[in-house]
A and B are shown apart, each in its own frame.
Chain A
């Protein structure tokens, strides 16, 4: 196993990484269960299985950095510091939600944290990330922007246009391709022509392919890419190979998958299991440290669901607010 820089992270950082990944996992497992009861409205796309991407990337970012997310946005939100209680309340459509119940799962955002929104439009995020990068560059904040996008989104014109724009404007933007093998029911092996890395290189953007189940590999690669981009090296590209544990959306029968596909992934290459093994074998964290985090996270998610369920729905008058600042 190659020596990872991330293995030299401080105890606090390792705990933080684990806490965030655990929070995402627990959040998604719980939303999955609650959705089945019929209490959560709308379209919900779960991020479970992809935790190392959001956390491995966002650990290198602060509030002055921005990310543009996707329809599968809960993990990005948590990793970028969105309030978990506010997220859960949003998913339930409550007034106390991060978007006051007006957006729901597909539109969770917290611009103050540099989280520019989950996105209902596939490929909608990359141009926004370019804009955030342009703002950071023009205002000399030292910030960078990350565009998360799936294999499906990589085929949108907006993705190609954004990569070219990032190069010609020398924008501090990092494109993170989360290739989970499918866009809805369609395999990325079919839908993505050519090679993702070569596509990026075609625009003059250096790219690296990484095992997206390996937090340490993602953290290392993202660290290098972000450092390079932040210090004026121009846009960077990461191609993360990973898997989603649930259907495209809640309610997807997943007939396009092999029987037992997810069970095998969970048993063999689960991100959280691998993280636990690495840090305990290297004696960086103990089982009791991890168990402590697990308990903490479980309590947080329990509480967020309980609070969201009993929170108030928006009122009639709220329907008409927030369309314009003034009209």
Chain B
């Protein structure tokens, strides 16, 4: 056990899985870097240094830099997965998935079903997402709802370094295609992370905090924001549960329902655009299955329905934060409970 950053946790998961299984290869643009250039090899180790050092350990045969051809190499990763490799492909920013989406959603996601259950596609696509970097409209999106929408894909959003390591190891060992979302603002976040390999199963939510009044469900970086909000609210005498589903597909709905049955109030926090996102999806499922348990309308905290703006003041306003979450919680506490209305 030692303190590790989100970046180091991911790097360690990759290294340990590559060590364990020679079929694991990684590929992506500049994931080592310096190919054909006169200076240092492994000059980048990925655009934010996440894969740094892996080329030195495993060589260029297993750490494959690619030209800028996302359709080509993401599709090649899918094809290689069908034929015995276990590729971990890095799609630098999830925004670039527009270039290669066909290979993901029509190809990799559907092989197993279309081929009558006779194919496995052990592919992981690691990708960076989220706002907060002043990176503007084409480098700041979340987009995980789009992948969650596609049957056949598993979708993972780690919310801390510990989670990142265990979930990535699980993703690599999983036989289905997995899209693994890394929030770009979190790479330097540190916490205690075990040195040895461990896997966190998919579809099992984490109870970050247990409370009685309100259930807050949040994903990725928003888990931190939700915890901060819960901390502040505790001082006001409002006790919140915070649930991190960890994976949006599969989704641990039973855990969410169980908590909602206890608290009767639900606040959903999702950094993705507000239409057809995880908040609306879970809201619909809770309304369908636990309407009777609700004491107040479900609240959703998401950005407005706009592209991500560049100007810092606008971006700060765009992203959900602890204050906005706390305000939503207070609003559900104020809403007349059913008993009071009767």
Q: Is A261 an interface residue (CB 8 A)?
A: yes
> CA–CA, A81 to B181, complex, Å?
40
Contact A258 B39 (CB under 8 A): yes
Q: Is A320 an interface residue (CB 8 A)?
A: yes
**Which of A14-22, A26-34, A169-177, A183-191 contacts the other chain?**
A183-191
Among A120, A188, A258, the most chain B Cβ lie within 10 Å of the Cβ of A120
Q: Is A41 an interface residue (CB 8 A)?
A: yes
Q: Is B151 an interface residue (CB 8 A)?
A: no
Contact B307 A323 (CB under 8 A): yes
Q: Is B145 an interface residue (CB 8 A)?
A: no
| A interface SS class | loop
> CA–CA, A320 to B72, complex, Å?
37
Q: A102-B309, A187-B37 are in contact. Are A157 and B71 (CB under 8 A)?
A: yes
Determine how close the nearest CB of chain A comes to the CB of B67; give it in whole angstroms.
4
Total of A-B residue pairs, C-beta within 8 Å? 162
Interfacial chain B residues near A153, Cβ < 8 Å: 68
Contact B29 A184 (CB under 8 A): yes
Interfacial chain A residues near B69, Cβ < 8 Å: 155-157
**Which of B135-143, B238-246, B326-334 contacts the other chain?**
B135-143
Contact B71 A256 (CB under 8 A): no
Q: Mark interface residues in A190-209 (1 if CB within 8 Å of B CB, else 0).
A: 11110000000000000000
> CA–CA, A157 to B177, complex, Å?
23
Contact B34 A43 (CB under 8 A): no
> CA–CA, A254 to B69, complex, Å?
22
Q: Is B237 an interface residue (CB 8 A)?
A: no
Q: Is A313 an interface residue (CB 8 A)?
A: yes
Interfacial chain A residues near B101, Cβ < 8 Å: none
| B interface SS class | loop
Interface residues of B in 92-114 (CB under 8 A from A): 95-96, 98-99
Contact A185 B139 (CB under 8 A): no
Among B33, B68, B70, B307, the most chain A Cβ lie within 10 Å of the Cβ of B68
> CA–CA, A320 to B33, complex, Å?
39
Q: Mark interface residues in B310-326 (1 if CB within 8 Å of A CB, else 0).
A: 11111001100000000
By beta carbon, the residue of chain A nearest B68 is A152
Q: Mark interface residues in A309-327 (1 if CB within 8 Å of B CB, else 0).
A: 0000110101110010000
B44 contacts which of A106, A184, A318 (Cβ < 8 Å)? A184
Q: A186-B35, A189-B36, A256-B43 are in contact. Are A42 and B68 (CB under 8 A)?
A: no
Contact B99 A186 (CB under 8 A): no
Q: A103-B137, A123-B99, A320-B306 are in contact. Are A93 and B36 (CB under 8 A)?
A: no
Q: Mark interface residues in B21-46 (1 if CB within 8 Å of A CB, else 0).
A: 00000000110011111111001100
Q: Is B47 an interface residue (CB 8 A)?
A: yes
Seen from chain A, the residues whose Cβ lies within 8 Å of a Cβ on chain B are 41-43, 93-95, 99, 101-104, 106-107, 119-123, 152-153, 155-158, 182-193, 254-259, 261, 313-314, 316, 318-320, 323
List 4 tightest A-B contacts by C-beta distance, closest first: A190-B36, A120-B138, A187-B36, A104-B310
Q: Can you list 22 A-B contacts with CB-CB less than 8 angstroms, sorted by A residue number?
A: A101-B310, A104-B136, A104-B311, A107-B310, A122-B68, A152-B67, A153-B68, A155-B69, A183-B68, A184-B44, A185-B33, A185-B35, A185-B43, A186-B34, A190-B35, A190-B36, A192-B67, A193-B67, A255-B40, A261-B38, A314-B309, A323-B305
